[in-house]
């Protein structure tokens, strides 16, 4: 009777094709896995996975009744299992490699592989990973009728579908690998011209063995002569015996494909080019395989690619490295609230991983995700709203805030130890969605925390366009008003919205000048003696946060400002203030600057911050009684104000490097005098322009900009005309355009929109309140520049500071408040 029920629902069962994404390792709307108490249910029509609490929701939404239930149960560990004792060499390597992980300067993936190869191998540390038994059942909703798998009694279509699901690589794993391979493999120059030798070799579908030794794994098929040989020997003795590379050195046959990685999805095959010394793509791989009688459509994956093998070796290391940053730290096993138990978010050397912890903590505390399930699309894995809802529920529910192992093999309770590991959550689906629209964040390359914050806020704002009440990013949004006064005494007011308050660090305001002078003498003496200075001896400048805030509002000269009252360019005085105070105030310390040679440099400076600040004095006042606005300019005046003349300093510096004077002038004009670096970049990229030697036209500087980039800046809260001018000045680079807006060059913001409103400027659409704030979080950067380093985050929660370092969470007794790159303040509500 029950089998008949299954047969009547066969139309709802699909056999997956190679192009289908199959989720079988994590629920699409929770963080349940096959190891969870209720296991995981895979929809056999859509191939989406759901935990026990949500499979019914999916059934009601889609009407799909047939599911593959996957359940993993921990295997008992034999009492007589021998424990491996680490060798002294392995112990030394462990400490050394952990120190290198802490430094992680310009960390590359191959180093990551070498770094972890000694874990879990002979002579190394036995990771004692738990093993699991996996069981499968076919379940039909709504009554949860259950049929065991495998079973010959099941319809053939069901058996084929289940086999295909189990054999296929999970979409979750594919996305993890894709983030490491976002830098697309290059097509090998040898693939299109490869000459294959017809020597009668036919490669069987299985049973391979190295032609020169007894190795049966890590085998590579040379695509020229069909030789099957083992791969390289690794430094720890594992891997192959170098027979494949030796064969190349003898024959110079360039390409080889790893056997066991060939399936109907040829893009997943591991092809290596020896002369190019890297993994490549072979667009003719199907033909090259067919030459040796290989029918790739019938092959199944039996080996991991080198990249996936490396990913599985990346373990969780102990957290001694970040103690230097945190100064005093106690390991924290259970904080009681899941929002502080965030596991590895973006991967080991992704700079945003820890920053993300705090951003999501603040954003997700906003009660705006209650209707996420109601508006979920057919595929929740690609919907940002749904993934934010999933993440909010996962963080705030406390469901995943438990140690990974709570019982012994006999089922008896075991006390939690300081070394107990917690599974936490790994929001890979969220990462895939938020990074999909960004070419940088979709990779595992080093990123800037501020960039990620702005990107996250932008994406959240876009999905809630027209529904501001549902937008959690609105809690960070505030208004900025700039007042410009020309020598005529008349004024102009410009307004924009922003999410961060970017602050210059005034080094002239240091409070420890005497100590710095003594340190510089001490340093000079040490260097003269050929001795190095220890980190404990370094004295850094200290600047109060109050001075950084004051610099933001302080009057500043703005040269090249076109005054419609004086009908010419002049020097104006600019001041700035806030039109509203957000719920959460984000302070960005400009610690990265350009030094001589246009090399990015990080300022090695401490900023003394207070736990409570009051910025009430920074509220803008708007047009005041007795002030007179600058008159509106006519068409001719507007054209005059927009006309850019070359900055002589920029021109002379470029000319001194040997560039043509006319070319230098064009470079300065076309970058709106943004600086020598911008002008040189423009010059180098336009040297071959056919009109580079043509005389400068009167309308120079009127080049067009990309409308999509304009829209991106407008979404950040900038006015459209300001965005256009900034992009024009920065050569279309959004990051430089944003910096240009914050630091306008000598041409002045003459085309910014002016307002004639009187009295304090208030935007009713933005949150507002008192100017008193309490520090609740900070993000620190460890490293010397923007191109390398690591971010750690600290959150103030329940009366104590907590550090997030990758998947390490601990109580911080002395957080590095003076070293942060970003500060998060919450407005104190009366």
Instruction: Please give the structure tokens belonging to residue 123.
Output: 């002579």
Task: Give residues with Cβ within 8 angstroms of 799, minimum separation 6.
Answer: none
Closest CA to 790 of 454, 447, 323, 444: 447
| C-alpha distance from residue 316 to each of 390, 432, 444, 476, 743 (Å) | 25, 22, 18, 34, 42
Residue 588 annotated as lining a ligand binding site: no
Instruction: Please give the structure tokens belonging to residue 691.
Output: 């009109």
Cβ-contact 348, 810 below 8 angstroms: no
| Helix axis angle, 384-396 to 449-463, nearest 10° | 110
> Is 353 known to be catalytic?
yes
3-state secondary structure of 540: coil
Candidates 118, 353, 548, 664; catalytic one: 353
Closest CA to 210 of 199, 200, 218: 218
Task: Give residues with Cβ within 8 angstroms of 95, minimum separation 6.
Answer: none
Cβ-contact 185, 193 below 8 angstroms: no
| C-alpha distance from residue 669 to each of 525, 656, 663, 693, 702 (Å) | 47, 18, 10, 14, 9
- Concatenated DSSP letters for 725-739? HHHHHTTT-HHHHHH
Residue 210 annotated as lining a ligand binding site: yes
Compute the radius of gyration of the chain from its Cα atoms: 31
Q: How many CB atoms lie within 10 A of CB 306?
A: 19
Closest CA to 132 of 436, 399, 405: 405
CA distance 572 to 494: 14
Residue 243 annotated as lining a ligand binding site: yes
> Is 27 known to be catalytic?
no
Instruction: Please give the structure tokens belonging to residue 213.
Output: 């030794």
CA distance 503 to 586: 10
| C-alpha distance from residue 168 to each of 19, 173, 206, 302, 339 (Å) | 10, 11, 18, 11, 33
Instruction: Please give the structure tokens belonging to residue 151.
Output: 């079973």
Candidates 497, 663, 790, 794; catalytic one: 790
**Which parts are annotated binding residues?**
210, 213, 230, 243
Which residues participate in catalysis according to the annotation?
Answer: 353, 790
**Which parts are annotated binding residues for Zn(2+)?**
210, 213, 230, 243
């Amino acid at each position: 009777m029950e089998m008949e029920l299954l047969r009547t629902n066969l139309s709802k069962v699909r056999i997956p094709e190679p192009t289908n994404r199959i989720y079988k390792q994590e629920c699409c709307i929770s963080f349940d896995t096959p190891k969870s108490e209720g296991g995981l249910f895979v929809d056999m029509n859509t191939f989406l996975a759901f935990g026990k609490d949500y499979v019914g929701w999916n059934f009601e939404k889609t009407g799909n009744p047939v599911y593959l239930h996957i359940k993993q149960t921990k295997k008992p560990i034999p009492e007589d299992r021998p424990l491996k004792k680490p060798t002294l060499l392995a112990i030394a390597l462990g400490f050394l490699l952990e120190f290198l992980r802490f430094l992680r300067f310009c960390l590359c993936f191959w180093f990551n592989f070498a770094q972890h190869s000694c874990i879990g191998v002979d002579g190394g540390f036995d990771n004692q990973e738990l093993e699991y038994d996996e069981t499968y059942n076919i379940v039909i909703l709504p009554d949860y009728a259950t049929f065991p798998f495998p079973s010959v009694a099941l319809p053939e279509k069901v058996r084929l579908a289940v086999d295909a699901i189990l054999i296929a690589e999970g979409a979750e794993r594919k996305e993890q690998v894709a983030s490491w391979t976002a830098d697309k493999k290059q097509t090998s120059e040898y693939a299109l011209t490869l000459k294959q030798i017809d020597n009668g070799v036919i490669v069987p579908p299985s049973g391979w063995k190295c032609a020169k030794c007894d190795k049966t794994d890590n085998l590579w098929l040379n695509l020229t002569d069909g030789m099957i040989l083992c791969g390289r020997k690794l430094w720890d003795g594992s891997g192959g015996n170098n027979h494949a590379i030796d064969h190349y050195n003898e024959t110079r046959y360039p390409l080889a494909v790893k056997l066991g990685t060939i399936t109907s999805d040829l893009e997943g095959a591991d092809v290596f080019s020896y002369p190019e010394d890297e993994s490549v793509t072979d667009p003719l791989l199907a033909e090259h395989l067919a030459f040796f009688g290989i029918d790739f459509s019938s092959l199944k994956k039996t080996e991991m690619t080198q990249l996936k093998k490396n990913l599985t070796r990346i373990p969780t290391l102990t957290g001694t490295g970040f103690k230097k940053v945190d100064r005093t730290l106690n390991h924290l096993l259970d904080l009681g609230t899941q929002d502080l138990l965030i596991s590895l978010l973006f991967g080991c050397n992704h700079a945003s991983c820890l920053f993300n912890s705090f951003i999501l903590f603040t954003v997700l505390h906003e009660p705006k995700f209650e209707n996420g399930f109601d508006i979920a699309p057919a595929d929740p894995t690609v919907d940002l709203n749904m993934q934010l809802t999933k993440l909010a529920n996962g963080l705030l529910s406390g469901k995943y805030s438990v140690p990974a192992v709570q019982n012994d093999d006999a089922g008896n309770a075991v006390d939690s130890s300081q070394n107990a590991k917690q599974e936490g959550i790994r929001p890979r689906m969220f990462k895939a969605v938020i990074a999909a629209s960004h070419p940088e964040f979709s990779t595992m390359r080093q990123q800037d925390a501020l960039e990620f914050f702005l990107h996250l806020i932008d994406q959240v704002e876009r999905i809630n366009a027209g529904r501001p009440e549902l937008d959690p990013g609105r809690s960070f949004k505030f208004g900025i008003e700039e007042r410009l006064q020309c020598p005529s005494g008349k004024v102009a007011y410009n307004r924009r919205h922003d999410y961060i308050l970017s602050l210059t660090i005034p080094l002239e305001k240091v409070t420890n000048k005497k100590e710095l002078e003594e340190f510089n003498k001490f340093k000079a003496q040490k260097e003269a003696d050929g001795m190095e200075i220890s980190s404990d001896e370094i004295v850094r400048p200290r600047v109060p946060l109050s001075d950084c805030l004051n610099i933001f509002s302080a009057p500043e000269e703005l040269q090249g400002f076109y005054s419609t009252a004086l009908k010419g360019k002049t020097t104006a005085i600019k001041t700035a203030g806030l039109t509203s105070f957000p719920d959460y105030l984000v302070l960005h310390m400009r610690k990265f600057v350009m030094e001589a040679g246009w090399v990015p440099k990080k300022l090695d400076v401490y900023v003394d911050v207070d736990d409570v600040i009051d910025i009430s004095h920074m509220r803008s006042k708007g047009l005041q009684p007795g002030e007179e606005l600058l008159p509106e300019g006519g068409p001719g005046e507007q054209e005059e104000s927009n006309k850019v003349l070359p900055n002589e300093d920029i021109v002379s510096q470029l000319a001194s490097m040997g560039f043509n004077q006319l070319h230098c002038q064009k470079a300065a004009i076309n970058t709106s005098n943004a600086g020598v670096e911008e002008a040189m970049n423009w010059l180098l990229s336009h040297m071959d322009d056919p009109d580079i030697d043509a005389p400068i036209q009167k309308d120079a500087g009127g080049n067009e900009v990309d409308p999509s980039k304009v829209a991106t800046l407008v979404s950040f809260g900038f006015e459209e005309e300001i965005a256009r001018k900034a992009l024009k000045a920065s050569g279309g680079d959004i990051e430089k355009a944003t910096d240009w807006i914050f630091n306008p060059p000598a041409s002045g913001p003459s085309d910014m929109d002016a307002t004639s409103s009187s009295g304090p400027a208030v935007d009713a659409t933005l949150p507002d309140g008192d100017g008193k704030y309490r520090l609740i979080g900070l993000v620190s950067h460890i490293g010397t520049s923007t191109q390398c380093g690591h971010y750690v985050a600290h959150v103030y929660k329940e009366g104590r500071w907590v550090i997030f370092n990758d998947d390490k969470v601990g109580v911080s007794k002395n957080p590095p408040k003076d070293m942060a790159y970003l500060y998060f303040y919450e407005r104190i509500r009366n």
